[in-house]
Each structure stands twice: as structure tokens, then as C-alpha cells.
Amino acid sequence: MSIAWRGIVAVLLLLAAGALRAQEGEAVTDEVVRDREFGVSARHFGLERRVAMYQWRAKDGGYDRVWSETPIDSSGYSKGHENPAFPLRGRRWLAMQVTLDDKPVDRSVIEQFGQWRAFRPNFSALPGNLAATFQPEGDGLGSAENPLDPQIGDLRIGWRELTLPPLQGHVELERGTWFPIAGDPVGLLNVAPMPAAAGTAAWPVPRLALMFAGLHALLLLALSARVSRMRQRLDTGIGHGDDHALARAIRVQANFIEYVPMALLLLALLEMAGAPSAWLLVGGTALFVGRLLHAWGLSRHAGVSVGRFVGTGLTWGVLLTAALAALWRAMS
């Protein structure tokens, strides 16, 4: 391995180590928060049920129909525009046992840094009496016989789960419990209005996937720069000019482009779908190490090598695992 190539690998590994270090300080909980009425559960730090009802609303001297999470008083409306009573209300459940480095996290940390995001529950545990009234609609449930033509009094129900970002640098240990650092900006629970369709809120930014996408982009730039330097040295603009080293370098670059984009796309989608951060860290790290090993092994010679064999195995393993996880998530 040349000195330049060793330097590139060393820089990328340092960047990867720094990025992984930035992911430390993540809170954990063993609790499963539940909406027992609907049989919905979430393995995060909180669960919120949001209910909207189709109601009459006075507007410009007349009336229109809107989805609203709060009851609209129709006591002064003309006949035929009465809103029914709200039969079901939204609720929120928060995990009680949250720890960071095996130390309890104060509830104020959850309230300050918690981030709500929509998710699609598994409705296999929906009680029979509710299954007769509600059916899947979007990422939630709806009571309308025809979702495209809802009637006054129809309901839409969606759920959100509460996640916590890495807390490193935002909390401090006091008397054996983690509290927010004084003066840190307060970002109370992200309570955004429920969209017209249940569960269609904007997806969260897949930060882990972004991190690994950046690392792999730097590695691709290093591989591409290596090909460009060899082309200049050999004065070969197209093809490899029967130079075996250039042919291997081109193949390393092409193999990277063939596999990495799909793997990163799957990781990003899984993160947006709520896959555990630990799984994503393992998958992204395995993919990155696999591509480094593959590039190193194939750059040395075209035959079988430990680097090429292990690198291919890690890449295929990440792709297969992510593909199966994506299919399971889509069908759950």
C-alpha cells in the first residue's frame, strides 16, 4: 500500500471514529410505552395518540368542513350544521425509566430535548370492537366508510413516537441523575398540528445515514482521485490502456458505485422508519470497513485476497440484512 493511500485510509478512519464518537451519549429505556385502548406500542421514550374529527366550521358567512383535533362549538350554527360530541381524545404516554450511562435521566431532559416523529404502528393487536369501527388509513386509522368522502363525525387517528438525540454536551450529572445544562436552549416537546391525513407528518432527518453517506462520499472521492492520477501518469483518457494497475483501480471505483448507493438508501429509509440507532451504527460501520477492505484488497492484485473477500462479505451482509429489515418493516 502506497504512502498516499495509507494517508487517505488513516484520515477516513479518523473521521469515522470522530463521527461515531459524536453518537455517544444516547439515552436508553427498557420500557415499552403503550396505548392499551388500541393495542399500539412503541419502543422509544414516548407515545402520542392524535385524534382529529371531521367537523363543521363557520367561514365567510357560511360553513365548510375541516379536520380538527379540538371540538368546534356549533351551538350558534344553523340547523343541519351541528357537530357531534368528540367521542375520543388524544393522549400521551412517556417512559418513566430512562437512563444514560446507567444513570437515571430526569424527566426535564425528555421534555426539553424530546423530538416527536410520526410512525405507522402494527395494528395486529387492535381490539375487535375497534376493528369493526376503524380501518387502516394512511399511517393510522380512520372511521370513514369512504376515506375520499368523509362525513361529519368521522375520525382519523395517528400516532407519534418520542425520540431523543445524542445528549452529549447538553446534560450534566447532579446527585447521580442527569439534568439539562443550565442555559441550554429549551426545545419543549415538538407539538406540531396534526396534518390532514393521519400519520403524514414530515419524516425526521436520517442523521446517521447522512453521516455514513458523507464518509462514503469522501472515500469515493479518494478512489476517484486515485484513478485520475493514474490516468494522467499513463496519459490514458479512456479505458485502462492495458495497464493492470489502472484496470484494478477503475474496477475498485466501479464496484463501490455499484453497491454503496443502494446500501446507504436502505439505511436512510430504515432510520426514517424508526430502526434502532445501534443497528444503523453497526450496519453503516460494517459497510464502511467493508469498502475500505475491498478497495485495499483489489488494489493489490486481481485475484482472491483477504481484503477483497472480507470486504465483499461485509457489503453483501449489510445489503441482505437491510433488505430483509426493509421488507419486514414495510409489511408489519
Identity at 14, one-letter amino acid code? L
pLDDT given at position 57: 93
**Residue 165 CB partners (closer than 8 Å, separation 6+):** 113, 115, 207
Domains of the chain by range and CATH?
A: 3-24+206-331 (1.20.120.550), 31-180 (no CATH)
Give the phi and the psi of residue 39 in degrees, each rounded to 5.
70, 30
Stated pTM of the model:
0.53
| Count of Cβ atoms closer than 10 Å to residue 173 Cβ | 11
Please report, in tens digits, the pLDDT of each residue of the chain (332 residues total). Answer: 555 555 556 655 665 555 555 444 678 888 889 999 999 988 788 999 999 999 999 988 899 999 999 999 998 899 999 999 988 889 999 888 898 888 899 988 888 888 888 888 888 888 888 888 999 998 899 999 999 999 999 999 999 999 888 887 788 888 889 888 876 554 434 434 333 333 334 445 678 888 999 999 999 998 888 888 888 787 777 776 677 788 888 888 898 999 999 999 999 998 887 778 888 889 999 999 999 998 888 877 777 788 888 999 999 999 999 999 999 878 76
Handedness of CA 95, 188, 186, 281 (dihedral sign): positive
Cell output for 8: 487517505
Q: Nearest CA to 163 among 34, 30, 275, 45?
A: 45
| Strand, coil or helix: 268 | helix
pLDDT given at position 238: 78
Strand partners, 56: 65
> For residues 219 and 291, is the Cβ–Cβ distance under 8 A?
yes
Q: In angstroms, rounded to a whole number, what is the distance separating the alpha carbons of residues 175 and 88? A: 42
The H or E element spanning position 148 is none
Cell output for 263: 446500501
Cα 129 to Cα 34, 89, 132, 152, distances in angstroms: 18, 17, 5, 21
Q: In angstroms, rounded to a whole number, what is the distance separating the alpha carbons of residues 186 and 109? A: 10
Helix intervals (H) in the chain:
3-22, 107-113, 128-131, 207-234, 244-272, 277-300, 306-331
Pairing of strands 115-119, 155-163: antiparallel
pLDDT given at position 6: 59
pLDDT given at position 191: 39
Q: How many C-alpha atoms does 227 have within 13 Å on its Cβ side?
A: 20
